[in-house]
Structure 1
Amino acid sequence: MKNVLKNRIIMKRLAVMAVALALVYFFWNQGIGNMFILKLRSTKLLTFAVISISTAFATVSFQTVVHSNFLTPSILGVESFYRLLQTVLMFFSFSLLGSQLNAEWQFIFLLFLMLGSYFLLYRLSWNRKNYDMQVILMIGLVMGTFFNSISSFMQVLMDPNEYDKLQTKLYASFQNINDSVLVLAVPLAIYSIISLWRKRKVLEVLGLGAQTAKNLGVAVEMETKLTFMHVILLMTVSAALVGPMMFLGFVAANIAYRLFRTYCLNYLLPGASLLSFVMVVAGQFLAEEVFKLQTNLSILVELFGGIYFFWLLWKERGKL
């Protein structure tokens, strides 16, 4: 009972912090009646919320299923595939088409290809007599390495001007958010977020281990497939909106584990989402107001995330 009250207090404080930061970011130095800035910051705050909740839900759900706090959905090759697709589109659109595919079609193309690769992963790993999570993760890792290798090869062949334009797409940025892509992405993100939230009790049982979950009546393979599908969908939405952010969900999830000290997803899912939102808003505020856009939010997140990752490895070295 004491832990429940403590976790509720932590959740309320995180919610207050998130709202306060959002208000500061929204009203900071905008002038009086500047509707353009109001609209721009409203779009950014909506994007912050979508990205934060999507990455948090995807990471916590994925780590619960694979029973590891050190793995992220990136191991499935989602971000590597995003980089490959952007490289292919840039390479062939300039070399053959003379123009770029518009953002809406890029998003739809990326979504279908990512879901297609998920079903390919299903055919390669799940359509086996014996279900093995390690084989699934290994196939995802190999696919990610393969995608990165092709991307690197094509980038070497690119014209320097094309390569320079490509680099702006391969790093997460909240400066140029496409409203039409956001309209397409929000319903998909909401669908997967609601689905994972409704399945949180099943995920908690899966977190106990495959054999225990089977003994408790959970269809482990089917539930794992559905969870992975929603994770890939959320990561695709996130990458399509702003670009890949490897460490955002990882940092938010692991801080949430240490704050709440529980395996209950009633606290971990919203708690990680609030932490992610706080980090994104605070980081973007620093990037805009302190660094004057001389640095990118993704650089700040990756820097902090990398340091935090190695700190966790050092702290947990005796348990690994």
Structure 2
Amino acid sequence: MPLSYEAPGTPPRADPLPAPERAAPRAAPTAAGAPPRRRWGSAWLTGGLVAVLVLLVLVSAGVGAYEIPLGEVVGSVQHRLGLGGAALDRVGESVLWNVRLPRVVLALLVGASLGCAGALMQGVFGNPLAEPGVIGISAGAAVGAVAAIGLGLTFFGNWTITACAFVAGLVTVGAVYLLSRNGGKTEVVTLILTGIAVNAFAGALIGLFVFFADSGQVNQITFWQLGSLAQATWPKVLAVLPCALAGLLVAPFYAGKLDLLSLGERPARHLGVDVERLRLALILVVALLTAAAVAVAGIITFVGLLVPHLLRMANGPGHRFLVPGSALAGAVVLVAGDLAARTLAQPAELPLGVLTALLGSPFFFWLLRRTRRKQGGWA
């Protein structure tokens, strides 16, 4: 027992903890603010996702009713880039570059947009059940598309449905935000409840258009709502590319503020975060990403909900990896889903939105049960 001087009359002090009971020092944080083990885990996970995505892109480009061997796909791409390789025959080149690759690239953009939007929504709302559809983006875009079909609008030619869906999605988000605003600020609960009300109203409008539509329009409305990439073309890719790139490039810059916001609104304000401005900026980014994705692909569910959960389970809740990682994982999920939709029921094609819901809902239920059992709540 170590000797120490104590003044007369003072109560005896507790002995210091023995050496084995003292807390072990934590690993020194890196420059990025994360322990080395977590940083290397992020690097390995990112590398694995990139490798899987490249493989899926090549396989998806070659598999279908007209088979193209993997080596010939790589050779054709090299030939187009001037890096050697060899061109395919006329039919093969047409199938690869006019049918398959536009669809694969569109799946990349839509999946990345939905995955990133889901991570941002869950960070902004502080709720693992949040997804872009919560604030009415998907439902609003659906109203725009259904209205264009039901009213027979053609002022943009083949782009009329896409343009109406995109504009209606953005307008719906703006309406939800303005209706939720009170006293110069918005609250998470008010945003969610307003989004639920707007979703219900949008559903009623869709039902009204379906009621007055003829049989051909009803079929078109139904298949649009099921979600699909079957009509992918290079012009559609170019239409969604600016919105997707803008949102995906801007989103990671808010990762640090989202980490602070996860501590709570009051601590985040004390740490210098303008919560209201952050919420508005990220809702605009989410609206841009989701409206563009829904406009070209229809309603595709569960990607923005499940992908961020999977990455949290694998690498923790830090948004510096979660936001870009969700974009990468969302692209992987949607390219794989579209490949399955094209090949599982050949020569027919499954609707992509139906497939993601069929696989996503049981998985989400399993995730809910697992998290509640092991952690007593959502991580």
More helix by share: 1
- 1:166-245 to 2 correspondence within 5 Å? 166-245=221-300
* 8 Å Cα contact 1:89/1:100 also seen in 2: no
Residue type of the alignment partner of 2:93: M
Deviation of the 1:275 alpha carbon: 2.2
* 8 Å Cα contact 1:178/1:241 also seen in 2: no
Deviation of the 1:232 alpha carbon: 0.9
Q: Which of residues 135, 159, 163 in structure 2 aligns to 1:76?
A: 135
Deviation of the 1:100 alpha carbon: 7.9
**Partner Cα separation in structure 1 for residue 355 and residue 169 of structure 2:** 27
**Partner Cα separation in structure 2 for residue 15 and residue 130 of structure 1:** 40
Cα deviation code 1:7-63 (max 9, x no counterpart): 221221121111111112223422743111121222112111111110111000110
Pair 1:30 & 2:68 matched: yes
Cα deviation code 1:60-107 (max 9, x no counterpart): 0110111111221111111111222222222211xxx6x685343433
Which of 1 and 2 has higher RCO (CA within 8 Å, sep 6+)? 1
* 8 Å Cα contact 1:59/1:73 also seen in 2: yes
**Partner Cα separation in structure 1 for residue 59 and residue 237 of structure 2:** 23
- 1:239-258 to 2 correspondence within 5 Å? 239-258=294-313
Cα deviation code 1:166-219 (max 9, x no counterpart): 212112111112433332221111111111122221222222221111000011
Flag the 1:263–1:57 CA change in 2: closer, same or farther, 3 A.
same
* 8 Å Cα contact 1:287/1:295 also seen in 2: yes
Q: TM-score, normalised on structure 1?
A: 0.91
**Partner Cα separation in structure 2 for residue 168 and residue 254 of structure 1:** 29
How many equivalent residue pairs? 315
What is the match of residue 268 of structure 1? 322
- 2:151 alignment partner, SS class: helix
- 1:54-203 to 2 correspondence within 5 Å? 54-93=113-152, 102-129=157-184, 131-203=186-258
Query: 5+ unaligned residues in a row in structure 2: which ranges?
Result: 1-35, 70-87
Residue type of the alignment partner of 2:324: P
Cα deviation code 1:269-292 (max 9, x no counterpart): 232223222222222222223321
Pair 1:304 & 2:359 matched: yes
- 1:288 alignment partner, SS class: helix
* 8 Å Cα contact 1:26/1:42 also seen in 2: yes
Q: Identity percentage over the alignment?
A: 20
Residue type of the alignment partner of 2:353: S
- 1:234 alignment partner, SS class: helix
**Partner Cα separation in structure 2 for residue 125 and residue 294 of structure 1:** 41
Root-mean-square deviation (CA, aligned residues, Å) is 2.0
Q: TM-score, normalised on structure 2?
A: 0.77
* 8 Å Cα contact 1:104/1:180 also seen in 2: no
Q: Which has the larger radius of gyration?
A: 2
What is the match of residue 280 of structure 1? 334
Query: 5+ unaligned residues in a row in structure 1: which ranges?
Result: none
